[in-house]
Amino acid sequence: MQNKQTEEQVLEILKQFKPEKSEILKALHALQNAHPLHYITEEAITQTARYFKLTTGQVYGVVTYYSMFSVKPRSPFIIRLCKSPVCYMKGSLNLWNYLSQKLLLNENNISSDDLFTLEPSECLGHCEQAPAMMINEQVFTNLSPKKIDQIIDDFKRKYHEK
Amino acid sequence: MNKNVNIIIDGKTITAKEHDNLLNVARQNGFDIPGLCYHPRLSPTGACRLCVVKIEGTNGLVMACTVQVKDGMKITAFDEELENNRRHTLSYLLAEHNEEYDETYHDEFRPLIERYNLKEVAQRPIKSIWQNIPRVVDDTSPVLTYDSSKCIRCFRCIKACEEIQGKGVLSFADRGIQKYIVAGTGKWGSSECDGCGECIQLCPTGAIVEKPHRNIINIYKIDKKVVTSCPYCGVGCQIEVWTQNNQIVRVNGVEDVSPNYGRLCVKGRFGYQYANDRERLTQPLIRKNGKLEPATWDEALTLVANKFNEIRQKYGKKALAGYSSAKCSNEDNYIFQKFIRLAFGNNNVDYCTRLCHASTVAAMIRSLGDGAGSNSIEDFETTDCLIVIGNNIIETHPVTATFIKRGKQKGQKIIVIDPKWTPLVKYADLFLQPRLATDVALLNGMMHVIIKHHLINEKFIEERVEGGMQAYEQLKELVMKYTPDLVEQITGVPEKLFTEAAIMYATAPTAMIATGMGMSQQTVGTNNVFALLNMCLITGKIGRERCGINPPRGQNNVQGATDVGASPVMYPGYIPVTNEENRKKVAKIWNVPFEELDPNPGLTTLEIMDAAHEGIIKGMYIMGENPVITDPNQLHTIEALQNLEFLVVQDIFHTETTAYADVVLPATSLFEKDGTVVNSDRRVLRLRKVLEPTGEALPDWKIIVEIAARMNINIGNYLNEEEIWNEIRQVAPILSGITYERIEKQGIQWPCYDEYHPGTSTLYKDKFNTSSGKAKIYPVEYQEQSEKTSAEYPLVMNSGRILYQYHSATLSRKSDVLNAYASESYILIHPDDAVKYKIQDRKKVKVCSPRGELITTAIISDEVLPGEVFMPWHFHESPVNALTRNEKDPISKIAPFKYSVVKLEAI
């Protein structure tokens, strides 16, 4: 799998947005989502700055302000586990520990097989079915260790089938 | 002007201007309200919350820095509650702050810690937590280091970069307590930061500190802080120079003083290393057996005097000539021209202005009457529309450019016209990229548009142009031939673009033009400027504030050197040498017989070199110039210098030119001098001695006086520079009213005719300085270049400057900082041409012209047009002037540095 974004690929994504300041967040999301390792590279930040007629520092400031953006390489799958009060009361902390052990996370919270990155998330809006998490764009609710096993295995299988 | 209002602070009635900043007003009146984020040059932030006050009728505490003064305001600045609040806030800031202090910077935080009795840890209400916050240290910049543990997130650096310098390079990264300052993607060194250091000067807590000399500077051991003028370009920035043990250790911009109001560029702030460089010339040198060997001053001066006398006797007075210097003071230049006129008995004195704005000056004098910029630097910010043509102003006049960028933030329209992309294009509304040397066609085309759209100013033409509408009709007849199709065909600029530009300029309530070397350094240089002036005149965009034409000058005293008479055609004050009445007046002041003053114009810079080549000039005196690098057609220059019988070079370093000298005389640098200079907006500014002279070096004027004495020529006895200046005031009426005393703090702009005259910020408000008092239109046709591309030489080379180096780089290349940013020659070539001529990016290439060749590195870039290449000319190892030609503009005698046919070969 190609773990890089070329200059042309970045430009192609940027061109989908009007070069107006209000479009920056959307463009950054698109860049991050399109990167196989779900992060925004220094080169992409530089190109974004040029496209929106800003300085690199100004774009870097935006990227690092929001916790949903990463400037470090992550992995193909980003798990965002909700740690807001409802999920917390329904045991999300236990699930965090469970996932940590199951995936053998390193200090950057990346799994030993480099497929998953675990991140805490603010409320995902599924409190009635807490605890909840997202993997990339997909939402999973009513989580339990058993259900998590199933989900993770599914992702692994599909990834390797590809 | 805002009206005066009265406010009461702690019972004291204070008069202030309405809408003034409350914190500023309070401090100016002795109320020492604490505060760290406010700076008078920045918009208020209200981030540090230390300047809280109470205002009657307003609930709670308000931050004084965010309040505008209103009539009748009653303010409490100090009471127990406020002081407690401030102490508490301060201790919050302190908890997140690393207090280590190494005495290398001015810290605004520490005095407050003492003042609020927080020095002892036990006395602090809030425990220290800074050790637990991730610390970010960025040491990648050549000029500064950022340490987040000392940063109080006050916004000053971000605003310094954005609001003052217009660059916006800095930003906050991350958030909350971990927030820190970032340039680029976290590495200052690879970001867009160009090292001006504005953020260092404004940082209150030492989070951003200067790198050079940090190992030796101690702000408690500074010997001197001297205010003088920057030695680099013609903006004339006022700098405060700090020394320790006769060494410069820091330079700051002087706050609140024109023309720079505290701002500097990277050269001004960090380019001073040359002053203390080990390679400085320390004693006179005489060539013996082919080698330059040390000599005593007496030996060297006697030899020079005898040789000059000998040549004059043997070959007559036409056999001698001198190059004066735009880097020297007015006093040096004045004495130099006086020396040439009296000791050489001719008017063969000129200097690098001939290679710079000679054509601009020639056109402006003919058309308007004065050879100087018509406006003040401040107008670059406030004019409604600005055309910047043939001028890479962000790189060549960085501080003037800050005014433009600030104007842009307020809605100024900017039109950039340049064959090469320049950084100002990023700020421009329109960018017109004509082919090299097609400017007259483009400007005639723009005037065609202006006329067609009925945008001329008839009232102005009738009242202020010689010949009125009749003169206009002649111009109209000529420019109407320049149809949009024809102009597009000649220049390559699309009709839509130049139409829009012409309308934008003509319809703006006020509009200015900044013209540069791109226009002047051509064989049609004077015509280029005539075309610009014609456009000014038919639209009436001159003779008012914020309207006019300005040629920012390249060197620190290029304006002053001509003002005080370093010219073959003008006496001091722009009075022609042919003016007999003036010569009589000057002879009286100089105390010499009138007959001794040659009434014939002398030779210009390049004519002097040609005459040396032909053997007519036998002896030459060069002060502070390096023609081997700066004159066109290097081979021709070298041959000319070799052909001289006797060459004296007076400089502060060995240069490529001293290699051909018979005697080399060591002069003091600008940091070792008293005197004055004149900047681009005609402001006479002081130079003050910062350092003791290096070795046996002497001020230029003293050396000249000594030579004259040994030639038995009386050019006057002067105790100091001020005495020379007072003589200049008698000889040059435009400078009469300017005394050293009057310019102690602020410069004054000439013309200034008497000591009560305030100086002149805008020229031509009532009349033009021509004999009729009216401006003249000079219609000009587009002319094709005599130099043409061919199968052998298919490309046209343009040349210019870059931000980090300066002219022949004698000074700037002594700076480690400037070299760290850029110290290598290159040639820009368009991607299409790179394919065509098989040139690879970042690979060595040979560049050849019919005059010579050089080797440099190719950079593939679409900053240039296909068919054109660009090279910076600072680098002696790849001397651009080996390729240029010494053909001359017929009127101004300037050479076409901007147009040489070349070929490129990969090697």
Q: B686 vs A160, B324, B702, CA distance in Å?
A: 76, 20, 18
pLDDT in tens, B550-563: 999 989 999 999 99
What gap in Å lies between CA B439 and CA B451, rounded to an integer? 18
Say whether A140 sits in a helix, a strand or coil.
strand
Using CB atoms, pick whichever of B171, B192, B426 lies closest to residue A61: B171
Please, what is the end-to-end C-alpha distance for chain A in angstroms? 10
Q: Evaluate if residue B1 carries a pLDDT over 80.
A: no
User: How many CB atoms neighbour CB B580 within 10 A?
Assistant: 12
Block residue for tokens 């050019």: B715
How many beta-carbon pairs under 8 angstroms link A with B? 49
Q: Are residues B433 and B327 in the same domain?
A: no
Query: Does the CB of A107 have a partner CB in chain B at under 8 Å?
Result: no
Please give, one letter per residue, the 3-state secondary structure of B230-280.
CCCCCCCCEEEEEEECCEEEEEEECCCCCCCCCCCCHHHHHHHHHHHCCCC
Q: Are residues B570 and B545 in the same domain?
A: no
* A61 to B169: CB separation less than 8 angstroms, yes or no: no
Mean pLDDT of B863-888: 94
User: How many CB atoms neighbour CB B817 within 10 A?
Assistant: 23
CATH of the domain at B848: 2.40.40.20
* A55 to B426: CB separation less than 8 angstroms, yes or no: no
User: How many CB atoms neighbour CB B754 within 10 A?
Assistant: 10
CB B419 within 8 A of CB B868: yes
Nearest C-alpha neighbor of B683 from the set B743, B769, B595: B743
Mean pLDDT of B620-641: 93
pLDDT in tens, B599-612: 999 999 999 999 99
Nearest C-alpha neighbor of B159 from the set B208, B190, B194, B198: B198
* CB-based burial label for B221 (10 Å; 0-12, 13-18, 19+): exposed
* A55 to B167: CB separation less than 8 angstroms, yes or no: yes
What gap in Å lies between CA B172 and CA B181, rounded to an integer? 5
Look at chain B and count its residues: 907
**Radius of gyration for chain A, computed over Cα atoms and rounded to the nearest angstrom:** 17
Last residue of a domain, one of B520, B550, B580: B550
Give me the sign of the Cα torsion angle B320, B325, B328, B331.
positive
Nearest C-alpha neighbor of B683 from the set B196, B226, B229: B229
Angle, in degrees to the nearest 10, between helices B525-539 and B439-452 = 10
pLDDT in tens, B222-279: 999 999 999 999 999 999 999 999 999 999 999 989 999 999 999 999 999 999 999 9
Contacts of B175 in chain A (CB under 8 A): 64-65
Residue B89 domain flag: no
Q: Evaluate if residue B305 carries a pLDDT over 80.
A: yes
Q: Are residues B715 and B799 in the same domain?
A: no
| Chain B contact probe: residue of A42, A53, A58 with most B CBs at under 10 A | A58
β partners of residue A53:
none
What gap in Å lies between CA A68 and CA A122, rounded to an integer? 10
Contacts of A61 in chain B (CB under 8 A): 171-173, 182
Q: What is the DSSP string of A96-136?
A: HHHHHHHHT--TTSB-TTSSEEEEEES--S-GGG-S-EEET
* A60 to B185: CB separation less than 8 angstroms, yes or no: yes
Say whether B769 sits in a helix, a strand or coil.
coil
What gap in Å lies between CA A141 and CA A121, rounded to an integer? 14
Q: Evaluate if residue A3 carries a pLDDT over 80.
A: no
Amino acid A2: pLDDT? 60
Give B163's DSSP letter. Answer: I
Q: What angle do CA B904, B906, B907 make, to 5 degrees?
A: 125
What gap in Å lies between CA B527 and CA B427, rounded to an integer? 28
Give me the sign of the Cα torsion angle B69, B74, B78, B84.
negative
User: How many CB atoms neighbour CB B601 within 10 A?
Assistant: 16
Distance from CA of B96 to the nearest CA of A (A): 20
Distance from CA of B337 to the nearest CA of A (A): 49
CB B380 within 8 A of CB B400: yes
Contacts of B191 in chain A (CB under 8 A): 55-57
CB B671 within 8 A of CB B248: yes
Mean pLDDT of B504-518: 96
**Radius of gyration for chain B, computed over Cα atoms and rounded to the nearest angstrom:** 29
Query: Does the CB of A46 have a partner CB in chain B at under 8 Å?
Result: yes
Residue of B nearest to A69 (CA): B174
Mean pLDDT of chain B: 95
Nearest C-alpha neighbor of B174 from the set A28, A65, A119: A65
- With bands split at pLDDT 50, 70 and 90, how would you rate the model's confidence at B356? confident
Give the amino acid at B516.
G
Query: Does the CB of A122 have a partner CB in chain B at under 8 Å?
Result: no
Say whether B604 sits in a helix, a strand or coil.
coil
CATH of the domain at B218: 3.30.70.20
Say whether B800 sits in a helix, a strand or coil.
strand
Q: Are residues B545 and B567 in the same domain?
A: no
CA-based max dimension of chain A: 49
* B191 to A56: CB separation less than 8 angstroms, yes or no: yes
Q: What is the DSSP string of B709-756?
A: HHTT------SSHHHHHHHHHHH-GGGTT--TTTTSSS-EESP--STT
Q: Are residues B68 and B148 in the same domain?
A: no
Mean pLDDT of B839-864: 96
Q: Are residues B374 and B426 in the same domain?
A: yes
Residue B97 domain flag: no
Residue B898 domain flag: yes
Long-range contacts of B582-589 (CB under 8 A, 24+ apart): B585/B731, B586/B731, B589/B727, B589/B730, B589/B731
What gap in Å lies between CA A117 and CA A78, rounded to an integer? 5
Say whether A33 sits in a helix, a strand or coil.
helix
Structural domain that includes position B18:
4-78
Q: Evaluate if residue B585 carries a pLDDT over 80.
A: yes
Query: Does the CB of A43 have a partner CB in chain B at under 8 Å?
Result: no
CATH of the domain at B515: 3.40.228.10
**CATH code that applies to domain A77-161:** 3.40.30.10
| Chain A contact probe: residue of B185, B188, B191, B414 with most A CBs at under 10 A | B185
Contacts of A48 in chain B (CB under 8 A): none
CB A82 within 8 A of CB A76: no
Nearest C-alpha neighbor of B904 from the set B879, B868, B872: B868
Mean pLDDT of B331-341: 97
Q: Are residues B642 and B678 in the same domain?
A: yes
Residue of A nearest to B191 (CA): A56
CA-based max dimension of chain B: 91
Mean pLDDT of B697-723: 96
Residue of A nearest to B425 (CA): A53
Distance from CA of B231 to the nearest CA of A (A): 31
Distance from CA of B193 to the nearest CA of A (A): 10
Amino acid B345: pLDDT? 95
Residue B87 domain flag: no
Structural domain total, chain B: 5
CA atoms within 13 A on the CB side of B524: 20
Q: Are residues B319 and B384 in the same domain?
A: no
Cβ neighbours for B122, distance < 8 A, ≥ 6 positions apart = none
- With bands split at pLDDT 50, 70 and 90, how would you rate the model's confidence at B183? very high
Distance from CA of A70 to the nearest CA of B (A): 11
Distance from CA of A47 to the nearest CA of B (A): 12
Mean pLDDT of B848-873: 96
Amino acid A1: pLDDT? 45
Element (H, E) at B6: strand B4-9
% residues pLDDT > 90 (chain B): 95
What are the extents of the domains in chain A?
7-65, 77-161
Torsion on CA atoms B475, B476, B482, B488, rounded to nearest 10: 100
CB B847 within 8 A of CB B902: yes
pLDDT in tens, A53-63: 999 999 999 99
Q: Evaluate if residue B216 carries a pLDDT over 90.
A: yes
- Mark out chain B residues that contact chain A at CB-CB < 8 A: 167-175, 182-186, 191-192, 426
Query: Does the CB of A54 have a partner CB in chain B at under 8 Å?
Result: yes
Using CB atoms, pick whichever of B174, B175, B184 lies closest to residue A57: B184
Residue B790 domain flag: no
Using CB atoms, pick whichever of A53, A55, A64 lies closest to residue B173: A64
Residue of B nearest to A57 (CA): B184
Distance from CA of B179 to the nearest CA of A (A): 9
CATH of the domain at B45: 3.10.20.740
CB B833 within 8 A of CB B822: no
Nearest C-alpha neighbor of B358 from the set B569, B576, B635: B569
CA atoms within 13 A on the CB side of B9: 22
Last residue of a domain, one of B36, B63, B78: B78
Nearest C-alpha neighbor of B471 from the set B481, B482, B484, B456: B456
Distance from CA of A156 to the nearest CA of B (A): 33
Backbone angles phi, psi at B906, to 5 degrees: -70, 145
pLDDT in tens, B477-497: 999 999 999 999 999 999 999
Backbone angles phi, psi at B796, to 5 degrees: -110, 130
| Chain B contact probe: residue of A46, A64, A70 with most B CBs at under 10 A | A64
What gap in Å lies between CA B684 and CA B750, rounded to an integer? 7
* A57 to B174: CB separation less than 8 angstroms, yes or no: no
